[in-house]
């Protein structure tokens, strides 16, 4: 993104190169929430760094001092698209800037041309927003086939193999499940779907910004993500990656001038854009996209490889610390099967325990009746110890 002349950028302790080992303590200092809270709820909403505050200030300064020359500029929107694409490892033309995961899943569910007799496989471990858009297709005669997780909470490839048939058109799966934190083997599932002529649609919101895997190489047909978790952006500003050769086969359920190759309203035959612009319509979320671009730059400066290594280190310590205290962990142990979420089987009422933790300024979530802690690079070992000690005490 181009910085508006005269605007001040906040100091940020970023490494000169992404390969350098970051100063995690200095980076933590950029997240003021950590001064008062043990925040282990990134899987719900991320707390935000000072760089986001600075980006919002830049945007408003441009509105006040330059009548929004950059703040309302489509060129700056394209700058943000390139920044997001660079972070997630995908060509800019395959990335649509949308509101959230729900919007992206709906665009795909409605745009794939599913009809009576077709079916979609959806895991019972999916978040509501990766289920209702598909269930809504029942009004068109599309069957939803539920894929049941194994007893250990994993959703094995064999479970999809038991449900798929020649009428399966799409498989909807989370990169990282919101509940127990199981990470889907997306490359294996993608290859399986291609062998059966089905599209793999991935809810990527719990993996993006944490797992250092280029989306273009992941093996999914589409990955949809809200920006308010690992991407360190604002709610209402997310992205959707669609494999390049699939874009032209998806007819968006709605369109406006930015969806087409030309803004000439009198053209005889309006043609949808050949790239991911076809999934965008109307005025964009200028402020949200501005922040999204700045946060993508921030994360790139730290390095996704560094972030993944730090989250792996912290979650491993959390799992080991729970084991030392006799707390049962529901999340798989191998790193390739998890990411930043750790779910616990704790005796007692989970809602009451979470409320008691909140009284101690320890913030977690309750999902599916279990305590869920979710870690990001701004956490430290003391956060984990305070959480585990409090759970043991409660």
**Is there a single domain that holds both residue 123 and residue 185?**
yes
Residue 69 in any domain: the answer is no
**Is there a single domain that holds both residue 196 and residue 220?**
yes
What's the pLDDT at 23? 96
Residue 46 in any domain: the answer is no
Q: Cα separation of 137 and 251, whole Å? A: 15
**Is there a single domain that holds both residue 228 and residue 117?**
yes
**Cβ pair 40, 379 in contact under 8 A:** yes
Q: Cα separation of 309 and 253, whole Å? A: 40
For residue 216, pLDDT beyond 70: yes
Which of 251, 275, 300 represents a domain boundary (last residue)? 300
Where residue 117 falls (left for φ over 0; alpha for ψ -120 to 50; beta otherwise) is left
C-alpha distances in angstroms, 96 versus 99, 109, 238, 242, 334? 10, 16, 9, 8, 33
**Cβ pair 346, 391 in contact under 8 A:** yes
Residue 361 in any domain: the answer is yes
Residue 18 in any domain: the answer is no
User: What tens digit of pLDDT does each residue of 231-274 get?
Assistant: 999 999 999 999 999 999 999 998 888 888 877 777 778 888 89
**Is there a single domain that holds both residue 191 and residue 261?**
yes
Q: Cα separation of 83 and 300, whole Å? A: 9
Split into its structural domains, the chain has a count of 2
What's the pLDDT at 19? 60
**Is there a single domain that holds both residue 234 and residue 359?**
no
Buried b (16+ CB within 10 A) or exposed e, 303-339: bbebbbbbbbebbeebbebbeeeebebbbbeeeebbb
**Is there a single domain that holds both residue 267 and residue 145?**
yes
Residue 266 in any domain: the answer is yes
How confident is the model over 122-141, as a mean pLDDT? 92
Percent of residues, the chain, with pLDDT higher than 70: 95
User: What tens digit of pLDDT does each residue of 301-318 get?
Assistant: 999 999 999 999 999 999
What's the pLDDT at 102? 95
What's the pLDDT at 86? 97
**Is there a single domain that holds both residue 348 and residue 207?**
no
User: 10 Å Cβ neighbour count for 261?
Assistant: 14
**Is there a single domain that holds both residue 111 and residue 91?**
yes
Side by side, which strands form the sheet with 199-203? 95-98, 238-242, 222-225, 199-203, 168-174, 119-123, 143-147
Supply the CATH number for residue 140's domain: 3.40.640.10
Which of 300, 322, 352 represents a domain boundary (last residue)? 300
What's the pLDDT at 18? 56
**Is there a single domain that holds both residue 96 and residue 139?**
yes
Which of 284, 300, 316 represents a domain boundary (last residue)? 300
For residue 294, pLDDT beyond 90: yes
Work out the pLDDT band at 15, boundaries 50, 70, 90: very low
Tell me which DSSP letter residue 9 carries: P
How confident is the model over 337-356, as a mean pLDDT? 95
Side by side, which strands form the sheet with 328-329? 328-329, 341-345, 370-374, 365-367
Give the residue numbers spanning the domain of 243: 74-300
User: What tens digit of pLDDT does each residue of 158-214 get?
Assistant: 999 999 999 999 999 999 999 999 999 999 999 999 999 999 999 999 999 999 999
> What does pTM read for this prediction?
0.92
Q: Is 66 exposed, middle or buried (0-12, 13-18, 19+ CB in 10 A)?
A: middle
**Is there a single domain that holds both residue 181 and residue 284?**
yes
User: What tens digit of pLDDT does each residue of 63-120 get?
Assistant: 999 999 999 999 999 999 999 999 999 999 999 999 999 999 999 999 999 999 999 9
Residues in the chain: 394
Q: Cα separation of 381 and 98, whole Å? A: 35
């Amino acid at each position: 993104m181009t910085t508006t002349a005269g605007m001040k950028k906040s100091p940020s302790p970023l490494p000169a190169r992404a390969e350098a080992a970051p100063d995690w303590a200095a980076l933590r200092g950029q997240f003021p929430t950590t001064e008062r809270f043990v925040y282990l709820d990134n899987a719900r909403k991320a707390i935000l760094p000072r760089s986001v505050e600075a980006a919002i200030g830049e945007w408003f300064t441009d509105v006040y001092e330059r009548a929004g020359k950059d703040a309302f500029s489509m060129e700056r929107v394209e700058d943000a698209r390139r920044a997001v694409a660079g972070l997630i490892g995908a060509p800019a033309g395959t990335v649509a800037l949308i509101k959230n995961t729900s919007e992206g899943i709906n665009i795909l569910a409605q745009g794939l041309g599913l009809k009576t007799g077709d079916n979609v496989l959806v895991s019972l471990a999916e978040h509501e927003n990766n289920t209702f858009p598909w269930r809504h297709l029942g009004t068109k005669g599309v069957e939803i086939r539920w894929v049941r997780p194994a007893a250990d909470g994993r959703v094995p490839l064999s479970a999809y193999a038991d449900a798929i048939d020649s009428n399966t058109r799409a498989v909807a799966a989370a990169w990282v499940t919101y509940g127990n934190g199981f990470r889907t083997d997306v490359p294996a599932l993608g290859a399986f779907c291609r062998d059966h002529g089905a599209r793999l649609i991935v809810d990527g919101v719990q993996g993006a910004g944490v797992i250092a895997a280029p989306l273009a190489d992941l093996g999914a047909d589409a990955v949809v993500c809200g920006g308010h978790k690992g991407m360190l952006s604002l709610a209402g500003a997310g992205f959707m990656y669609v494999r390049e050769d699939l874009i032209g086969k998806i007819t968006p359920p709605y369109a406006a001038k930015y969806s087409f190759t030309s803004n000439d309203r009198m053209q005889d035959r309006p043609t949808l854009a050949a790239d991911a612009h076809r999934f965008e319509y109307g005025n964009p979320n200028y402020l949200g996209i501005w922040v999204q671009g700045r946060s993508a730059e921030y994360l790139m400066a730290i390095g996704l490889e560094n972030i993944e290594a730090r989250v792996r280190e912290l979650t491993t310590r959390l799992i080991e610390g729970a084991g030392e205290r006799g707390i049962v962990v529901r999340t798989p142990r191998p790193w390739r099967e998890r990411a930043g979420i750790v779910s616990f089987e704790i005796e007692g009422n989970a809602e009451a325990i979470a409320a008691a933790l909140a009284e101690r300024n320890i913030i977690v979530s309750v999902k599916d009746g279990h305590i869920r802690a979710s870690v990001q690079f701004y956490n430290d070992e003391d956060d984990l110890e305070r959480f585990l000690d409090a759970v043991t005490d409660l």
